[in-house]
Amino acid sequence: MFTYYFSLALRSLRRNVVLTALMIAAIGVGIGASMTTLTVFRAMAGDPIPNKSRQLFAVQIDNWGPRQGVVIGDKDNLQEQISYPDAIGLMNARAAQRQSAMYATGFSLIPPNPELRPFVVHARAAYADFFPMFEVPFRYGGSWTAADDAGHADVVVIGRELNDKVFGGANSVGKTMNLDGHDYRVVGVLDRWQPTPKFYDLNNNKYGKSEEAFIPFTRAVEQQLGSWGNNNCGGDTIPAPGWEGRLHSECIWIQFWAELPAPADAARYRTFLNNYAAEQRRLGRFHWAPNTRIRNAREWLAYRQAVSTEVRILVLVSFSFLLVCLLNAMGLMLAKIMGRAVDIGVRRALGASRRAIFSQCLIEAGVVGFAGGLLGLGLTLLGLSGLRSLLSDDVNRLTHFSAIDVAIAITVSVVATTLAGLYPTWRAVQVQPAWQLKAQ
């Protein structure tokens, strides 16, 4: 009977084109508005590394203490980054299966091709574990090794775009690249990799592109490559002058991630971290009880409020607008269905059960929802292109509309319109055929 009801729905919609167009327009506008904001919200709130988001942990250590009185946006008095001494202490301890200290940096790249002018490259200093830990895909070559970390090797992993720009997309593994006047050997070229949000460093352009070059942390420190990201020093944390002064200060500028596959690993690491902080206290560096924390990637995104309250409110407002549109569509549907009360009465007289009438009307609502969804898709694309023109290139990937978004838009439209059609449908089922036929 579905195909029969479907064909009846199409006939019914053709019967009153203006009313049908109004219903579809109401739903389309609502879907367009809500899907535009939902698309951006999903990009912001998505799980950037779904396979491992519960196994990767951001590490926090309170190295300022409560006396500092400086709380950086956190209720728990824990800083969002760690200091260099702690980064080195944790790396040397090797308490996790994989771990990496890292920071954002950059340099000027002098291309081997003299026709290209030098340009700035955003980079990340990290340890070799960074790549397998974050499942970074390689197009050519691979990561450097732990020996390269230990040896402060002049090696670099570059991004696909940079490889295209400098080496024309060819396999550049083994070639050299001049960064800030020093030659680095390319050991790997990344494939497309763009975790959104950039969870491993939410301090620096969290919806922006991933870095285009990666070099060993040890080499970056040796080269005194400064942090291009967020640095926090204040009060007692003011560093002594110079690079060495910064390294030995309590300034926080380094992100630290550990891979802890099992809950038991995480529990052990928590203990280790508290012991580490207690040890720092015994050594006279900390003067307070250990205050440490690890949070997995999902918890980290929630803790850092990766999706701003404003965006959440915007989504709420747009879905409220969709609700208003659906209420309008429901009114129109009710008018349309009640206008067909006699037909419904006739069908009942000819043997249609209430369930049959219910199915027929609900399928009609679903068809309206589908058409509204298609219109809504068009309006969503229009809305996203409008947003794109307002956003910088770095973050306009938030407006990427995928096949999943298309499916969501159509599904939301069909389901919401069908739900909105429940009341008109219920009214249709209540039609007393005898009264309708008598009225004739």
Partner 1 sequence: MLRMSQLSKAYRTEVVETFALRDFSIHVREGEFVAVTGPSGSGKTTFLSIAGLLEEFSGGEYQLDGVNVRGLNDNQRSRLRNEKIGFIFQAFNLIADLNVQDNIDVPLRYRGFDGAERRRRIAESLGRVGLSARGRHYPAELSGGQQQRVAIARALAGSPRLLLADEPTGNLDSQMARGVLDLLEELHRDGATIVMVTHDPELAVRAQREVHIVDGQVVDLAPQPRLVSSAAAHL
Q: Which of residues 348, 399, 412, 425 is near partner 1 by CB under 8 A? A: 348
Which lies closer to partner 1 via its Cβ, residue 12 or residue 210?
12
Q: What is the DSSP letter of 261?
A: -
Binding segment toward partner 1, per CB under 8 A, in 10-18, 214-222, 243-251, 387-395: 10-18
Contacts with partner 1 by CB under 8 A: the residue count is 26
Q: Which of residues 17, 18, 283, 350 is near partner 1 by CB under 8 A? A: 350
Dist. CA 418–CA 370, nearest whole Å: 10
Does residue 343 belong to the site contacting partner 1 (CB under 8 A)? yes
Binding segment toward partner 1, per CB under 8 A, in 105-113, 198-206, 274-282, 431-439: 431-439
Does residue 197 have a cis peptide bond before it, meaning omega lies within 30 degrees of 0? yes
Binding segment toward partner 1, per CB under 8 A, in 75-83, 125-133, 179-187, 429-437: 429-437
Binding segment toward partner 1, per CB under 8 A, in 9-17, 139-147, 172-180, 216-224: 9-17
Q: Are 179 and 213 in contact (CB under 8 A)?
A: yes
Which lies closer to partner 1 via its Cβ, residue 309 or residue 440?
440
Closest alpha carbon to 277 in 74, 64, 44, 98:
64
Does residue 440 belong to the site contacting partner 1 (CB under 8 A)? yes
φ/ψ of residue 135, rounded to 5: 50, 50
What are the helix (H) ranges across 262-402? 263-282, 297-303, 309-338, 341-349, 354-390
Q: Which of residues 238, 324, 338, 434 is near partner 1 by CB under 8 A? A: 434
- Write the CA distances from 159 to 142, 187, 233, integer angstroms: 12, 11, 31
Residues 6+ apart with CB under 8 A from 67: 287, 288
Q: Which of residues 73, 355, 389, 403 is near partner 1 by CB under 8 A? A: 355
Does residue 88 belong to the site contacting partner 1 (CB under 8 A)? no
Beta bridge partners of 126: 216
- At closest approach, how far in Å is the CB of 343 from partner 1? 5
- C-alpha dihedral, 263 to 267 to 268 to 272, nearest 10°: 140
Q: Which of residues 342, 391, 419, 422 is near partner 1 by CB under 8 A? A: 342
136: left (phi over 0), alpha (psi -120 to 50) or beta: beta
Binding segment toward partner 1, per CB under 8 A, in 109-117, 124-132, 349-357, 398-406: 349-357
- At closest approach, how far in Å is the CB of 22 from partner 1? 19
Q: Which of residues 170, 267, 313, 349 is near partner 1 by CB under 8 A? A: 349
- At closest approach, how far in Å is the CB of 198 from partner 1? 57
- At closest approach, how far in Å is the CB of 410 from partner 1? 27
Q: Which of residues 113, 271, 308, 353 is near partner 1 by CB under 8 A? A: 353
Does residue 75 belong to the site contacting partner 1 (CB under 8 A)? no
Q: What is the DSSP letter of 251?
A: -
Which lies closer to partner 1 via its Cβ, residue 81 or residue 436?
436
Does residue 339 belong to the site contacting partner 1 (CB under 8 A)? no
Give the three-state DSSP class for 126: strand
Ranges within 360-419 binding partner 1 (CB under 8 A): none
Q: Which of residues 96, 347, 369, 416 is near partner 1 by CB under 8 A? A: 347
Q: Are 348 and 439 in contact (CB under 8 A)?
A: no
**23 exposed, middle or buried (CB, 10 Å; 0-12, 13-18, 19+)?**
buried
- At closest approach, how far in Å is the CB of 370 from partner 1? 21
- Write the CA distances from 223 to 149, 186, 226, 278, 304, integer angstroms: 13, 17, 9, 32, 31
Does residue 432 belong to the site contacting partner 1 (CB under 8 A)? yes
Binding segment toward partner 1, per CB under 8 A, in 11-19, 33-41, 148-156, 304-312: 11-19
Question: What's the length of the chain?
Answer: 440
- Residue showing tokens 């300022």: 64
Six token digits for residue 279 = 């040890």
Give the three-state DSSP class for 10: helix
DSSP-derived pairing of the beta strands 176-179 and 98-110: antiparallel
Q: Which of residues 9, 12, 141, 160 is near partner 1 by CB under 8 A? A: 12
Residues in the site for partner 1, rule: CB under 8 A? Answer: 1, 4, 11-12, 14-15, 342-343, 345-356, 432-434, 437-438, 440
